Structure formats: structure tokens, C-alpha cells
Structure 1
């Protein structure tokens, strides 16, 4: 059985011969709401500075010209943007104006993690937010990227910044003062479906992060699909979730596909102003919501936990909030009910998507005031879904199995990784690795088939941590699983089989065990970004359960960990 959107068929698939900035900055699609002239595109959170369309377009052209003149960035070159949210998305649009490819990187990465991304994509240029320059320099040295190919993004777009490196604002000024050095290419009909826009990193179903190849058309079409799903131009909808002049919080990171597509581009396309917040601090976030009268919140469950439980919330009137969408990880029904008390006038729902599907698969529709409890939203127009049993047969409505989706917004596969592409992209369908039930076009995520751990919405591949743990001299074998956590959703826990000499030391001195656990946690913390660290602790066991072919039976330990966690919570209530 196949499942489709109850919002109706997608009537307009949009142009397939435009790049993202051409579609976004040069073209007025018929479904695009008209933004009032006094409504800024972006607002700099720290200063309150409004930024209008004309400024963004001019800065985009200036930066593109500078990148062309100084580094000869051309078609299919790759440029890495290593930065938190910033009011210059012109970095993205300028790179695309030249026909080049953007690979967004998490600014919390260690140098080794950034090296993996730079090497995988063969990035020719690195744009880095000033506070993260030391990490960028260390990574660049390791991959042989010369220092003169590092550009510093200043914390504030219009403030002077002293650096021995070229700065973003300096390049924009330079490029704007020079004659055009490039001619932007118009794509051929259908070419946007294969012309690559992003190498966005995802762990897929297993293993180290992989570069997902996303073409321009997938990106722009997913915006149009979501527009249709929310009925932005449906005259029968008297009260819409989004209206030009509303204000959205851009607190989710733009380097993550959810923040990049849904928050940055879909909100701007819909005529909203974006308050750009580089770093999430909860009390500062509350101040921003109040100061800018933010109406739309796109969040992940840990942020919603804070909204429901942090004592500072009672000091703020959030009655002006119109919409809250949670994504990246499931939101419990009890947390949703608590959130209703905090934002009494808001529509509340969930969304679900993947980097491999260029984001949205499902979301609360424009006709719903409240999402169905436990649902990740309704399938958006233009997508087709199947629920498949382990034997490959199709499930009926209400039956549980793995979710597969297809549609014109799917990514093209993984960069230079034929095996991973073959496993996840099957005959035009994307295997999500999530076990679901579909009822009335609503997707209910039941469990995760794939091994990925979701920490605060970020993906953590157990195999990556296991490989690093095995490099420790005391470790003979390792298995990492996710355990439930009220704030983070899941946190990594390591099950470790020790080498004989380590066991002998612990036998002679039991306190060595706790010291070794601390050392193993530090071993990971020294090499990995914060959300990959072993917040769930370290457990020593005699053997890792495996099948006859040697594959780790991860679910055995995961189920064991969840049972222990449930027992602990039950005992705590006694």
C-alpha cells in the first residue's frame, strides 16, 4: 500500500532550470506571498539591526564577485562554511551564484571532525566564524589547505574586525567596487534536478558522517511542497499558520538541514522576518522572543523541555506566539500538553524529515490547530510513502514497518560512497531507517531501525565512537547505544570489554575501574563534539553480543539499557 498527502496533490512543481539564489532572489513564484515593504528579511538578534532584501542581494553579488576575482571559484568548486547562524546567508547564495557547491559544517566540530568533512568534499575554500578560527586553522593545516584560503566571518556584519585573513565584509566591499568578473550561468531545462547545491552531512543509517548530495531543485521544491501543505495561498483558509509580517526565531542551526531549509529559506519565502540567533542560551532566547515579539518557534524537544520547565518562563508573556513546530526527534504527548499551557494561543505540532529527503517528509498541516498527539505530522504533497515489513512486503494502514519515501525532492545519494548510497537509496526510494505506523496520512514514529542515536536532534553514529574507543589501550571491544534522556532525547552510553591487563589492574585495585571509566569518557571528549560525548556513562561487560557473522547485536544492549533506565525511574517514584 502507498500513502499520499491528504492536503491534495502538488499542482505546481516549480521551475527546474533555476539555482537556489535565482529562484529565491530573482524570481517571483506564483505561490510566494507578497512581503510588505516595511518588513525586513532578517534581524540581527544582538543589535536589532534590520536587513532588507536589497541589501542582501547587493551583498550576495559583491561576495560572489570577490570570490571569483581573488580565488577563481568556479563551477563545481566546493566551499565549506564553518559557522553558527549569521545574518549573512549571502555566503550560501554567493557561492551558488558562481555555480559552486556549499558544504555547511558544525562549528562545534573538533579539528579532526572538520578534517573529515574537508577531505570528503575536497573543499577549495573555508569560511569560518571568527571565534572558531583556531579549529579551522588546525584542520586546514592537516588537509593542506593554505591559510590564504580561509575567510573570517565577523561576529557582526557591519563592525570592523582586525584579522590577518580576508574578512567577509571586506570581501563584499571589494567585490562591490570591482567590475563583474563572472557571468552567472542559466541552467538548462531540467538541469536543476542534477546540479549540486549542497554537500550536507548526515550519518545515514550507519557509520561516519557522509556527504549527502542535494541538487538545487530538491531544495526549492521542498519549499513549494511545504507552502502547499500549509495552504499559504488557499483562499478557503481564513486563518493561516504563516502570514507576511510575522516574525520567526532562527535559533536552529543553519548548518543542519532543518534550520537551512525550513527555518532560513521557507520562512523567508513565506514573507516572515527572521531573528538570527547565533547561539542558543535559554534566558537570552526568552528575552529575544519578548523583545522582537516573535510569533513562530521552530524548535527541538530539549528546547521545548526548557520552555515547559525552566523557572524563568513565568516572567514572560508568550501569548503572542502563533506557531510552535518541533522536529529532529519525537515530542511526547505529555510535553505537548505542558507546552499548551506556556503558549496558549499557539498552534502546536511536529515535523519529520531527513537530510537524504532534503528535509520535510511530514508536518502538521495548515488545516490543523493542533497536531495529532504522538504524530510527526501529515505527509506533505508530492511525496509517496510505503511502510515495509522485514520481508519486503508492504504494510497496510495501521501496520508497523520501515518507512520508505519517494518524490522529486529526494537527494541524489552520498558523495563517493556507492555502498552507502545503495543501502539507503533503493530504486528511487529513500530508506529512512525509522519504524513507523501511518494512519490518515499521519506518520507515527515507533522506533529506530537504524543505529543512529539522536542527541538534541543531532545524529551520532555509534560506529564512529566505537572506532575511537577501540584506539584506547585498555579497550578490547566496544558497543555504543543511546539511552533515554528527558532533556536530550537520547545520550550515548558505551559498553566496554576490557583487555586482560586492564582487568587485572581493576581486580587488584577496584578504584581503578572508576578511574578508567573517567579516562574513557575523557578519551572521547578530547576528540569529539559535545553531543557525541558519553553522557550516558561507561559500563564494563564480559562480551559484546554478536550474531554468528560477527555483527554487533546492538538492540540487545539498547533494550537492556532502556529496561534498566525504566526500572530506575520506577524506583525513583516509590
Structure 2
């Protein structure tokens, strides 16, 4: 029966009386290596300025001291910024909850998140000032409680002129003012219930849901990742150890998303690594940063992987010093992984899988593997138990597809203000992911669909489809079929030239679909053909980290199929 516990060894002790800020900034865990003296915590990729622990602590204290007598709960509405995590930690020093919002939100979307979290203050970027102000006013939050991060030239017309309050002004005020707060200290066990974050889920059904994440959850996931990767253990020669003090990690993933917030940034800090923070992702600048800062570790999402594999500029940069790459949010095809090996021959390469509800990582590249091209999302982290459940509620066998259900110490408490969804997703300590997978006996997980009894990995077909000259983006889902069980259906975003041809006539659109289907048929075994067809869409729905919202397209496929049957 497909219920399996992690094979990656014991889980370290997880403190349940610390806030995340205290765990990262103040404490020394036995699994945590000693940082090298000359290694900054954060490097601003624009200026190259390094920021160390003491400066981060001082800025965090100053901001907390100023916020204590001005504001309540904090919502961060900004792209990455050198003070983004300072604001997170300041909130935690005060015992407040932080909620990060997508900086591309409209005023209506931001207002929704503000009301769901009952936020009383927004820290925003000058470029988002107008949207933040509109949402704040609609939510009943006074203008003076909209604060701007400092950028070159601010305050200016983007942020309401010189009267605007900035984060730097608050930090300065807080450092010049006598202490006006007592840091929140947790009782034993309180870390399991005291909230640290309201992170929003992908919202595949209805509006996005606020995931209530207690302090112990990110701390547990950091320690799970450390144990999985044998951090601070002499399991092999120093040169071959995967995460070491002095290593340098990219910081291009958005910090308002759980992947960037926990795995990318806080785990890097725990390992004694430097975090090269990128405010706005630009691929050419990204390549330059890898070389300039000698970045050794790349935590990425599939769209960035595709650029690395296909962009002509990559050949102009020496990337041989990169030692580790993982991709999360959506499965990668074998074709893309093989291309990555060609570009990064010296790097450990693999995939990771996680959710907001599990406070990030559930599986990742096993420490025993150098490069995993199998399409696996990796093996279970220590402390995690997983099941694969069939539609009838019974457990699938190893190698059989079903819904992934997991139990982990990093699990969220549920959804805020949504008892129905909480009861559906969080069941007796288990979390239903909604993702169709199979588990092997070695605890590796593969996302799957099943055609005539044969297992088909959507990522494999997506990799093949991306090789077609007319395809810009794609997502493959399974649609129910009485004969085959499921049939692969490809939703495809066309390249601009192909899109114009498709719009010119129904015949031209059909020719492109036939060409795409033939491309797959010519390169894959018969049962992997796109027997479910090809549908053109304007965009593939993804969450902010790049994860394909496959369930959204599965629902769309069902609606299309039901509509077609109704017309017959």
C-alpha cells in the first residue's frame, strides 16, 4: 500500500518556543553551521552592497520600535527589497503576523487580501504606491499607514511627495527613541499555534485562501531541508558537500511567495550562505549576476529553467562554478533536465515539490544523487509521511496513481475564515494536496496521469511540446475517457506569429493543431499521443512562483467536454 515515511534519516529537534525571527537572527541550532566571518547575509544585486547580521538586527529593532506605537498588523505589497525581510522580522519581534501580497495585484485584489487578513498597515514599493493607497482607502486604512520602502529618488511624486513616511525614516526614528516594546516571547509549545504568516494559496477554486502558518512550520521545514541535505555533517569531502557556509544563492524568487520566503531565503541564511537579492527579474541581468557574484546555488521555477535551456545569450557566460540547481512549482521534462546537465555539468541537479499549506518543501533531490533526470520531484524530507489515495478512498499501491496526501511537522493550521475548505483539505493531521502522483518504494514522487493502464508524466509531454516551433507555453492534463481511462489534452499558448496565423482562419488554426499533435506522435510512444486534442489559450494559469495550476485547466477541460456533449 502506498503509504511511506521518509527514508532520509531522523528529523532534528524542532524548537516550539521561538519565533522565526528569533530562530534565524538569535539562536544557534546544533544542525546549523558557523557562518564564515566575511560572508554577508544579503547582497543587493544592483549595488553589490553586502548586509551583515548585526546591521539586519539593528534595522529590525529600529523598525519594530517605531511600528510598536504607530501601527498594527503588516501587509507587504512590494517586489523584493533589501528591507523586505527586515519588515517580516520586525513584525515577528512585535508578535504580529505578516502577509505578503503580489506586487502586480490590482487595487481590488489587494483590498481583498487586506480584508481577509484584517491588515491595518501596508508597506509598499514606490511603484505600487497608487494601488496601495486606493486599496487602503477602500479598506478603511488611513493614508498615513501606507509606508514606502526606500529607493533611489524616494520620496517623490510616486509616493505622495516629501510628507510620505518611509521605512528608513521609521528605522531612524525607532533607533533614536527609547525602547517602547517588549519582544514577544513564546511559551513552550506556543510556536505550534502562534501565527507567523498569512500566505495566500493558489486559489484554484474560488478566491485565494489565506493559509494560516504558525512559527513552527517554517522552522520545521528549514530543519527538514537541513537534515535532508546533511547540512553541517561531514558525510563527504568538504568540496562535495551540497550546502556550505560561504556558498552564494540567487534571490530572484518573490519573497511574498512561500518558496522564496522559506526555502530560498531563510534556509540559505540557516546554512551560512549569502543571498543575492534581486528586486526585479531580468534574464540577462540574472546571467550577469551569476558570474559577477559567483553564485553557486540556483533555486528556480520552470519559466527560468526554460530560459536557461533556450536563450541564445546563455552561451556567452561561464556558469561552470554553479554547484546546485533545483526547480520547484511544476514538473520538468527529461529533455529540459538533460539540457541543463549540458549547461551545468558540475552542478547537482534535481526537482523539488511543495505547497503553501505544507509551508514549502515536501520532496527534494536526494543527497545520494548528483543529477536526477528521471522526472522525479525528489524524495520525501525527514519527518514526512505520504499516502497516495485513489478516487474511491482506498490507498494506491506503489507505482499506482492517485492523490498525494501528506503529514508533516511544517503543516499549516488551515485556512483563515474558511472552515469548509479547511475541513476538506486538512483531515486528521493530513493535508490533501489535490495533485495526481505516484510514489515509488524509494519515496520518490512523480506527477502522473494514466492512459490505457500506462503511466504518462505530463511534464514529459510538455517538454516535447515546447520543442515545437509554434509553442510558447503549454500544460497537459488528463480528461476522462471510457475506453482509455484518461487521454492527454494539451492547452497551448502559441508564439505571436503562429497566433496570427491561427486567427486568420479556422483552417489555419486546425493545421497548427494537427502539426502539434503530429510532433508529439512522431516523438513519443503511441499511448502518449495527444488523443485528447489541443486547445489554444491566451495564457497558462500559474501561481506567483510559476507553478502550473493544472487543476484549473482540468476543470476547464471538463466544462468543455460537458458543453460538447450537451450540443450533441
**Bin of the TM-score, shorter chain as denominator length:** 0.7 to 0.9
Quick check: 1:21 aligned with 2:24?
A: no
Counterparts of 1:309 and 1:166 in 2: how far apart (Å)?
44
Q: Are the equivalent residues in 2 in contact too, given 1:240–1:366 (CA < 8 A)?
A: no
Structure-2 residue corresponding to 1:201: 200
- C-alpha distance 289-405 of structure 1, shift in aligned 2 (>3 A): same
Counterpart of 1:79? 74
Change (3 A) 1:64 1:212: same
Matched, 1:143 2:162: no
**What is the DSSP-based 3-state SS (H/G/I as helix, E as strand, rest coil) of the residue aligned with 1:349?**
strand
**Deviant stretches of 4+, over 4 Å:** 484-487, 557-561
Question: Which residue of 2 is the match for residue 541 of structure 1?
Answer: none
Give the corresponding residue for 1:443: 445
Q: What is the number of residues matched between the two proteins?
A: 468
Given the alignment of the two structures, is residue 117 of structure 1 paired with residue 118 of structure 2, yes or no? no
Q: What's the counterpart of residue 288 of structure 2?
A: 287
Please show how residues 257-406 of structure 1 align to structure 2 within 5 Å: 257-406=258-407
What SS does the corresponding residue of 2:437 show, helix, strand or coil?
strand
3-state SS of paired residue (1:226)? helix
Give the match's secondary structure for 1:219.
Answer: helix
8 Å Cα contact 2:253-2:260 kept in structure 1: yes
Contact 2:338 2:373 in 1 (8 A): no
Map Cα deviations across residues 115-154 of structure 1 (whole Å, 9 max, x no partner). 1101111101100011110111111121111101111012
Q: Is the Cα contact below 8 Å between 1:33 and 1:233 reproduced in 2?
A: yes
- 2: distance between equivalents of 1:261 and 1:322? 20
Equivalence for 1:108: 104
**Take 1:430 and 1:399, find their aligned partners in 2: how far apart are those partners?**
19
1:57-76 matches, within 5 Å, as 57-71=57-71, 73=72
Point out the more displaced range, 362-371 or 309-318: 362-371
Aligned partners of 1:79 and 1:124 also within 8 Å: yes
Indicate which of 464, 481, 491 corresponds to 1:483. 491
Give the deviation of 1:447 after TM superposition.
5.0
Q: Is the 8 A contact 1:205 1:424 kept in 2?
A: no
1:204-243 alignment to 2 at 5 Å?
204-238=203-237, 239-243=240-244
1:91 aligns with 2:99: no
1:171 deviation in Å?
A: 0.5
**Counterpart position of 1:535:** 538
Q: How far has the Cα of 1:233 moved from its partner?
A: 2.5
Instruction: Give CA-to-partner distance per residue, 1:449-494, whole Å, 9 cap, x none.
Output: xxxx999xxxxxxxxxxxxxxxxxxxxxxxxx9824599xxxxxxx
The one-character-per-residue Cα deviations of 1:398-454 (angstroms, maximum 9, x if unpaired) are 111100001211000000100111111111110000010111110101159xxxx99
CA RMSD of the aligned region, Å?
2.6
What SS does the corresponding residue of 2:184 show, helix, strand or coil?
A: coil
Deviation of the 1:366 alpha carbon = 2.3
Inter-CA distance 338–207: structure 2 relative to 1 (3 Å threshold): same
| 1:49 correspondence with 2:44 | no
**Residue 9 (structure 1) shift:** 2.5
How far residue 314 of structure 1 moved from its aligned partner, in angstroms, is 1.0
Cα distance in 1 between the residues matched to 2:555 and 2:317: 48
Rounded Cα–Cα distance in structure 1 between residues aligned with 2:4 and 2:30 = 28
Q: Give per-residue Cα distances to partners, 1:207-254, cap 9 Å, x unaligned.
A: 210100000001101100000000112322332111111111100100
Q: Secondary structure at the match of 1:176?
A: helix
Structure 1 residues 368-517: aligned runs within 5 Å: 368-439=369-440, 440-447=442-449, 483-484=491-492
Query: Cα 1:50–1:555, aligned 2, differ >3 Å: closer, same or farther?
Result: same
**Match of residue 35 from structure 1:** 35
Deviation per CA, 1:291-345: give whole Å up to 9, x if none: 1111111111111111111111111000011111000111111001011111121
Gaps of 5+ in 1: 456-480, 488-509, 512-532, 538-551, 562-574
Say if 2:24 and 2:269, in contact at 8 Å, map to a contact too: no
Instruction: Judge conservation of contact 1:204–1:424 (CA < 8 Å) in 2.
Output: no
Q: Distance in 2 between matches of 1:303 and 1:321?
A: 15
Q: For 1:420 and 1:272, how far apart are their aligned partners in 2?
A: 38
- What's the CA shift for 1:14? 1.8
Q: 1:416 to 1:553 in 2, by over 3 A?
A: closer
Q: Secondary structure at the match of 1:135?
A: helix
TM-score normalised by structure 1 residue count? 0.78
Q: In structure 1, how many angstroms separate the alpha carbons of the residues matched to 2:394 and 2:121?
A: 47
1:147-195 deviation per Cα after TM superposition (whole angstroms, max 9, x unaligned) = 0111101236xx7644422101111111011111011122110000000
Q: Does the Cα contact within 8 Å between 1:483 and 1:558 map onto a contact in 2?
A: no
- Partners of 2:122 and 2:154 in 1: CA distance: 20
> Residue 231 of structure 1 contacts residue 237 of structure 1 at CA under 8 Å; is this kept in 2?
no
Question: 8 Å contact 2:337–2:373 — kept in the other structure?
Answer: no
**Alignment correspondent of 1:155:** 151
Task: Quote how far apart the aligned CAs of 1:287 are.
Answer: 0.9
1:54-73 Cα distance to aligned partner (Å, 9 max, x none): 000000000000001223x3
Provide the rounded CA distance (Å) in 1 between the counterparts of 2:184 and 2:275: 29
TM score, norm. by length of structure 2: 0.79
Residue 463 of structure 1 is matched in structure 2 by none
